[in-house]
Each structure stands twice: as structure tokens, then as C-alpha cells.
Amino acid sequence: MSLKVDSRDKAQEIIDKYDYFLFDCDGVIWRGDHILPKVAETLDLLKKNNKTVLFVTNNSTKSRDDYLGKFEKIGISGITKDEVFGSSYASAVYIEKILQLPKDKKVWVLGEAGIEKELQELGYTTIGGTDPRLTADGVTFDPDHELLNNLDKDVGAVIVGLTMNLNYLKLSITMQYLIKDNKSIPFIATNIDSTFPTKDKLLIGAGSIIESVSYASGRKPDAVCGKPNQSMLNAIKADNEGLKASPGKGLMVGDRLNTDMKFGRDGGLDTLLVLTGIETEDRVLAQEKSVAPTYYADKLGDLFEMTQ
Ligand SMILES: O=C(O)[C@H](O)[C@H](O)COP(=O)(O)O
Ligand SMILES: [Mg+2]
């Protein structure tokens, strides 16, 4: 049964007990471009207590560098690139290190600039993505479109993530790459999140976009690189000996049970689910003991508010 953080003692116990705080972003730190209540104060409090603070997001629309800009813009300063892990970075590293795609091969992107930038930083050429030819004029679908009828023979991988600029042409070209050459081109997905929490509503998530091209092509992704995949946590443990030695000194704070909480639990961390994103209190309380978050709270900022 998850323990609700509803008193000074419980909030202070959490601050004292853990050395490493891993934060999901959408639905925890912010919703869209709107920072959630007392988040900056909570992060400052943790840093004043010499805690290690890291960010792990499944949102592939931005690169790590882009996220540094977003943190500054919403008033959270002092974050460094090595403290931010995103599914676009995790997917690019997968393509380079695990798939070992040669750098003379290209990657077809159904997604935003975050994916393109992380792949390009590793030396890959990307096509698709934010190419303006894919959204020209907003006219109706052209079955004779050049990018649909001239598939690039150098494409060696397809990656699909969240995009707010989805259209039938992008979906159709992605499908062509997934079915060509006897369905042999690797299909990489950034994450499974079915919905995306904006300021005041839930919108379509990357996982739902991935499901549509998966269904049409008859293919399941060969890899899903975001949470709960442990690759980002393994990278964090490799850089943080204390967490690697004692994962129980780490707390994963998230808003989604099947990504954030599973990611933390599978990595041996304790978990705190906040109710400012995807989940409801009823859903948290209905979880089996084996998968229930360690704690839950109305919002992350309660760690600050309840200890002042
Ligand atoms: O649709 C998506 O990709 C996700 O909803 C979203 O971006 C999750 O981001 P996170 O909560 O992991 O920061
Ligand atoms: Mg989230």
C-alpha cells in the first residue's frame, strides 16, 4: 500500500532518507510550459541538502540542450547537460551503441527536433523529422509526393517519437520504410506513453503515434528506449557509484505508473508518484502491493511546503 506524503514528518523523512532524486518531467516538474507549484523551491531545498538531482524524461521532442533552455525559461537554473536524460538521447545512443548503425547510413525520423539533434550530435544524418517539405502548405495529401515515392536507399533505421505536427504523409512514409526490404529496417520507438499531459488536458502521447504505425506496418518496435527501459538508469548508475552500490538510496519521482514507477522499481529505487500528471489517487491505491509506489503525493512541491 502506498504511503501518502501528507505530513511534515513524512515529507522530512523522504528528504532525509534518499541521496539521489530522479525526476520525471512532464506531469511532475511542469505541464507543457507551465512549472508546477513550488517545484523550483523543492529542487533548491534538495540541493541545499546536498542531494543529487537528476531528470529523466520520455518526452523526445527536445534534446538535452533544448531542455537546459526550458529549465532556464521556467525559472529552474543551474541544471547541467549531464543531469538530464531524455528518450531522444537514449534512442540515439541505442542506435549507435547497440544497433551499431554505421554512420554512413541515415535515420528516418517521425518526430521532432529533439530526436534529430541527438542523432546528429552522434554523427548521423537524419531525414524526415522537421523537414518543411513534409508539412508544406498544409494542403491535402499528395500521393505523388517526392518523399513518398523516392524512398532513400541509405535509410538504415526508423525512429518514432512524439510529434505535434503529425500528418498522413509522415505516417505513410514511415510505414513505407517499415515494410520495405522484407520489413528488415530496424524500428526504434522512443517511449510507450499513451497520453501527453499539457497545461490543462491530456493529449495524444508518443506511444499512441507509435501504435498507429506499428498497426499499419504489422511490426512491433525492435526497441523502446525510454522508461521503463533500464538503459537510462544504467547510464545514471554508471556515473553515480553511490546509487549503483545502493539503489535504495535513490527515489524515482514520476506521474505515470507503467513508465516512471516501473523504471524506478525495476532499478531497485523507491518511488514517489505525484498526482499532477497522468494518474489518479484511486488508480494508485488500486495497485497490487508488489507494484504500488512507495509513496504518493498531491504534488512534488509538498516536499517543500510541508517542511517549511
Ligand atoms: O507522449 C509522450 O511522449 C509522453 O507523454 C511525455 O512526453 C512523457 O514525458 P515524461 O513524463 O517522461 O517527462
Ligand atoms: Mg511524466
Task: Give per-residue pLDDT as tens, 211-232.
Answer: 999 999 999 999 999 999 999 9
Report if residue 84 sits inside a domain.
no
Alpha-carbon span 165 to 236, nearest angstrom: 32
My answer on whether 147 and 213 are in the same domain is yes
Q: 132: pLDDT confidence band, cut at 50, 70 and 90?
A: very high
Mutation choice for ligand 1 from 59, 162, 229, CB with most ligand atoms inside 8 A: 59
Report if residue 281 sits inside a domain.
yes
137 is annotated as an active-site residue:
no
Q: Is the pLDDT of residue 138 over 90?
A: no
My answer on whether 218 and 132 are in the same domain is yes
pLDDT confidence of residue 137? 65
Report if residue 76 sits inside a domain.
no
Q: Is the pLDDT of residue 161 over 70?
A: yes
Q: Are 189 and 158 in contact (CB under 8 A)?
A: no
Average pLDDT over residues 164-191: 97
My answer on whether 113 and 201 are in the same domain is yes
| ipTM computed for the complex | 0.98
Alpha-carbon span 9 to 295, nearest angstrom: 13
Q: 1: pLDDT confidence band, cut at 50, 70 and 90?
A: confident
Share of residues in the chain with pLDDT > 90 (%):
98
**CA 257–ligand 2 middle distance (angstroms):** 9
pLDDT confidence of residue 307? 97
Average pLDDT, the chain: 97
pLDDT confidence of residue 259? 98
Give residues with Cβ within 8 angstroms of 223, minimum separation 6: 91, 94, 98, 99, 186, 188, 189, 229
My answer on whether 220 and 236 are in the same domain is no
Report if residue 96 sits inside a domain.
no
Mutation choice for ligand 1 from 23, 34, 39, 57, CB with most ligand atoms inside 8 A: 57
Alpha-carbon span 98 to 42, nearest angstrom: 37
Is 255 assigned to a binding site? yes
Alpha-carbon span 121 to 40, nearest angstrom: 30
My answer on whether 54 and 127 are in the same domain is no
pLDDT confidence of residue 88? 98
Choose the final residue of a domain: 178, 198, 224.
224
Of 291, 260, 220, 293, the residue nearest 59 (C-alpha): 260
C-alpha cell at 102: 554505421
pLDDT confidence of residue 264? 98
My answer on whether 105 and 17 are in the same domain is no
- Catalytic entry in 26, 260, 270, 302: 26
pLDDT confidence of residue 139? 67
C-alpha cell at 45: 531545498
Choose the final residue of a domain: 224, 258, 292.
224
Which of ligand 1's atoms lies nearest the C-alpha of 25?
Answer: 13
Q: Is the pLDDT of residue 273 over 70?
A: yes
Q: Is the pLDDT of residue 11 over 70?
A: yes
CATH of the domain at 267: 3.40.50.1000
| pLDDT tens digits along 62-98 | 999 999 999 999 999 999 999 999 999 999 999 999 9
Give residues with Cβ within 8 angstroms of 56, minimum separation 6: 22, 23, 24, 25, 85, 86, 227, 232, 233, 236, 252, 263
Query: What's the total number of domains in the chain?
Result: 2
**CA 287–ligand 2 middle distance (angstroms):** 18
Choose the final residue of a domain: 191, 224, 257.
224
**CA 59–ligand 1 middle distance (angstroms):** 4
pLDDT confidence of residue 140? 82
pLDDT confidence of residue 136? 78
Alpha-carbon span 33 to 44, nearest angstrom: 20
Domain span holding position 182: 101-224
Average pLDDT over residues 104-114: 98
24 is annotated as an active-site residue:
yes
Report if residue 79 sits inside a domain.
no
Distances in Å between the Cα of 64 and the Cα atoms of 4, 183, 237, 239 are 32, 31, 18, 17
